[in-house]
Amino acid sequence: MNLDIHDLVVESDHDFRVRTDVYTDPAIFELEMRRIFETTWVYVAHESELPKPGDYVSTTIGLQPVIVSRGDDGQVHVLLNRCRHRGSAVCRLERGHAEQFKCPYHGWVYGSDGKLLGIAQATGYPEGMPLSELGLAPAGRIATYRGLIFASLEPDGESLDERLSQVATYIDLWADRSPLGSVTLTRAAHKFLYAGNWKFQLDNGVDGYHGNYVHESFLAILEKAGEKTVRGYKDLRSTGSVVGLAHGDGFIDRPYGGMAGQFEYHDPKLSGYHEQLRQAYGPERAQAVLGQRNLLIFPNLFLFESHIRVIRPLSVNETIVLMQPTRLDGVSDELNTERLRTHERFFGPAGFGAPDDVEMFVDGQTGMKARGVEWSILSRGLHRETRGDGVWLGGHSTDEAPQRSAYREWKRWMAGAGGVTSSREA
């Protein structure tokens, strides 16, 4: 990579462009892992996945394997999945329950809080082995908000509260889809693996522009089912808006009664749901809660009505996307099942919508092999957005304000704004 970070994202009042290399250059990908994923706050798991002490999930921060576990003290721990002896992963399973993590290689044993509990044949080591310092290495920082567990490998930096100060309002609206204000993830998830850069998913999750084209077959299905006409759906593109926030966050904002139709659950047999929300939050907030937002929390998390979506980059052109459906706490089983069936209809590898999005991601990876044209254009709506203090309010729901926020933040971290050219950046 012989490019200056500042030349990769170009912005003026009438122009916003991102260079092709941002999607294709392995060196830029490596730097993204160091300066973004291993430095900023990233989402790692949901508290409902770890209800009891000893419960764990294994995942990644950037490319680094980590364990998210609940210790006997009830606290959540985020631990590097690497034995302190010779580096073996101590946890191979995606999720489970364990009193301890035992390294399969030489039998070193760690507690669910990461503490080293014992070394096999310990007398074989010289005196003065600092056992208390040889626990599984913890992430630098861990914090939760509304059940979402975030971690940062860097010990220093802004608190999660500061990080989420703007977007918290919208996380609240998402969580309050439950009258109890909390959700539980299903055990199974929809998982995609696609041969494209992770930022294609980042761009598309808050893209209000593609639906009429990429999802034409889904709109036709809705029309055939008598649910909404294609024309009606297209007209609804002019309702709502898009919003970019500071910190790289942003969302598509569809008001109650508009695009939200298929996620509002008006079916008379489910109508108790709306009443439950009104009783829990009052009529005004209930209506706000029932709006539909595709909310991006930079860099790796989306909150959708039906699911949590997690981006897991593998390499510059390989990405895993997890779509983990939610069950709303405190509502009828019937509603949660209906939400699940609605989710399956569009999302997942065999759904009627998401595979078409993923097709666009690999198409992007194909198209960007063509060089000579070095830029992709993200200037849609620049002339009609309203700018406030860390808020970019799009003039139309098809505008690219959220993506611009994400790339501003991308550039800030890639240029080293974390204050960190971290210890991991050799």
Partner 1 sequence: MTRAEAELFIIRELRLIDERRFDDWLALFAPDCLYWLPIVEGDPAVEPSLVYDDLQRLKERIFRITASPPAQEPGSRTLHNVSNVDVAEAGEDGVRVLCNLTVFELRPGDPIQVGLAVQRVFAANAEYHLVNGPEWRIQLRKVWLLNRDEPLYNLTFLF
- Does residue 359 belong to the site contacting partner 1 (CB under 8 A)? yes
C-alpha 48/C-alpha 50 separation (Å) is 5
Contact set for partner 1, span 321-350 (CB under 8 A): 321, 325, 327, 333, 336-337, 340-341, 343-345, 348-350
- Measured from the Cβ of residue 285, the count of other Cβ atoms closer than 10 Å reads 15
Contact set for partner 1, span 191-230 (CB under 8 A): 191-196, 214, 216-218, 220-221, 224-225
User: Which residue among 137, 320, 393, 415 contacts partner 1 (CB under 8 A)?
Assistant: 320
Q: How far is the CB of 423 from partner 1 (least distance, A)?
A: 31
Q: How far is the CB of 267 from partner 1 (least distance, A)?
A: 15
If the CB atoms of residues 347 and 410 are measured against partner 1, the closer one turns out to be 347
User: What are the beta bridge partners of residue 331?
Assistant: none
Closest C-alpha to 349, from 149, 133, 193, 129: 193
- Does residue 363 belong to the site contacting partner 1 (CB under 8 A)? yes
H-helix segments, 135-228: 160-163, 168-175, 198-205, 211-214, 216-224
Segment near partner 1 (CB under 8 A); pick from 60-68, 173-181, 186-194, 233-241: 186-194
The residues near 66 (Cβ < 8 Å, ≥ 6 apart) are 44, 58, 59, 60, 78, 79, 80, 81, 139, 151
The binding track of 131-170 with respect to partner 1, each residue x by CB under 8 A or -, is ----------------------------------------
- Do residues 144 and 150 touch, judged by C-beta distance below 8 A? yes
The residues near 268 (Cβ < 8 Å, ≥ 6 apart) are none
Q: How far is the CB of 174 from partner 1 (least distance, A)?
A: 19
C-alpha 15/C-alpha 27 separation (Å) is 26
Contact set for partner 1, span 364-423 (CB under 8 A): 365-366, 369
- Does residue 172 belong to the site contacting partner 1 (CB under 8 A)? no
Q: How does DSSP assign 309-366, residue by residue?
A: EEEEEEETTEEEEEEEEEEETTS-HHHHHHHHHHHHHHSSTTSSSHHHHHHHHHHHHH
R_g (Cα) of the chain, nearest Å: 23
- Measured from the Cβ of residue 133, the count of other Cβ atoms closer than 10 Å reads 9
Contact set for partner 1, span 268-307 (CB under 8 A): none
Burial label, 270 (beta-carbon count in 10 A; 0-12, 13-18, 19+): middle
Closest C-alpha to 253, from 306, 302, 292, 208: 292
CA atoms within 13 A on the CB side of 51: 6
Q: How far is the CB of 265 from partner 1 (least distance, A)?
A: 16
- Does residue 182 belong to the site contacting partner 1 (CB under 8 A)? no
If the CB atoms of residues 177 and 215 are measured against partner 1, the closer one turns out to be 215
Segment near partner 1 (CB under 8 A); pick from 32-40, 157-165, 358-366, 393-401: 358-366
Tokens of residue 1, six digits: 């990579």
The binding track of 224-263 with respect to partner 1, each residue x by CB under 8 A or -, is xx--------------------------------------
If the CB atoms of residues 89 and 189 are measured against partner 1, the closer one turns out to be 189
If the CB atoms of residues 5 and 310 are measured against partner 1, the closer one turns out to be 310
State the residues that interact with partner 1 by CB under 8 A: 186-196, 214, 216-218, 220-221, 224-225, 317, 320-321, 325, 327, 333, 336-337, 340-341, 343-345, 348-350, 352, 355-356, 358-360, 362-363, 365-366, 369
